[in-house]
Amino acid sequence: MIRPLETADIPECRDIFTDCLTDMPWRERHRGQHLALRRALETQPAWVAEEPNAGVIGFLTLQVPTDYVDHLFVDRDWRFCGVARGLLEVARIEATGALSLDVDSENMTARRAYEALGWQVVASTGGAGRARQMRLVGP
Ligand SMILES: CC(C)(COP(=O)(O)OP(=O)(O)OC[C@H]1O[C@@H](n2cnc3c(N)ncnc32)[C@H](O)[C@@H]1OP(=O)(O)O)[C@@H](O)C(=O)NCCC(=O)NCCS
């Protein structure tokens, strides 16, 4: 089930986020990402995917009015189950235009998922010692 985030979901979202970061050693240099997550969860439209026996298994936060997806994280035990697809579909309904997001160039898991979902690369940023990211736009 996908539903709007409630305050009580925030600790579970934080746990998923923290666990996902263990697969992203390049993110260690990104300061303030936990604070940014907290702000997003507290102030932006957000949805969770919930499974009756497991609780929250994924979440998405959306910046408005830019329709920018700034967090999309799925519990590692529930990947390849359509959770990201479902969360993005809900965000797309809520958005006023095409969704966009930035993905780290090192994040091949996410890049492959977005490619499978029909997202297009529209720009690259970073380089020269700075984090490289790709701007993607949704179908
Ligand atoms: C990227 C992520 C959100 C995908 O979530 P998910 O729930 O597993 O994705 P879905 O099950 O909805 O899959 C959507 C499509 O992507 C494909 N896909 C997902 N992960 C993939 C991977 N690692 N490699 C290749 N294809 C992949 C699926 O097969 C599916 O395509 P299909 O319908 O044609 O079969 C998830 O792996 C994740 O949370 N990763 C860690 C956090 C992260 O990187 N977030 C993104 C930050 S920008």
Q: Is residue 103 a contact partner of residue 114, using CB atoms and an 8 Å limit?
A: yes
Higher pLDDT pick, 51 / 125? 51
Residue to mutate, 17, 60, 74, ligand 1, most ligand atoms under 8 Å from C-beta: 74
Calculate the alpha carbon distances from 13 to 1, 3, 22, 102, 117 in Å. 15, 13, 15, 20, 23
Q: Is residue 91 a contact partner of residue 44, using CB atoms and an 8 Å limit?
A: no
CA 101/CA 119 separation, integer angstroms: 10
Q: Is residue 60 a contact partner of residue 45, using CB atoms and an 8 Å limit?
A: no
Tell me the pLDDT tens digit for each residue of 39-93: 999 999 999 999 999 999 999 999 999 999 999 999 999 999 999 999 999 999 9
CA 133/CA 101 separation, integer angstroms: 10
DSSP 8-class letter at 76: G
**Ligand 1 atom nearest 110 alpha carbon:** 1
| pLDDT at residue 130, rounded to an integer | 62
Residue 131 has pLDDT above 70, yes or no: no
CATH number assigned to the domain covering 2-98: 3.40.630.30
DSSP 8-class letter at 25: G
| pLDDT at residue 127, rounded to an integer | 62
| pLDDT at residue 28, rounded to an integer | 76
Residue boundaries of the structural domains of the chain? 2-98
pLDDT band at residue 26, thresholds of 50, 70 and 90?
Answer: confident
89 SS3 class: helix
Q: Compute the average pLDDT of residues 22-40.
A: 87
- Max CA separation in the chain (angstroms): 46
Mean pLDDT score of the chain, rounded to an integer?
Answer: 94
Q: Which residues line ligand 1 (CB under 6 A)?
A: 20, 72-74, 79-85, 101, 103, 107, 109-110, 112-113, 116-117
Residue 129 has pLDDT above 70, yes or no: no
Q: Is residue 87 a contact partner of residue 72, using CB atoms and an 8 Å limit?
A: yes
Ligand 1 geometric centre to CA of 79 (Å)? 6
* Crossing angle (nearest 10°) for helices 10-21 and 33-43: 150
Bridging pattern class, strands 130-137 and 100-104: antiparallel
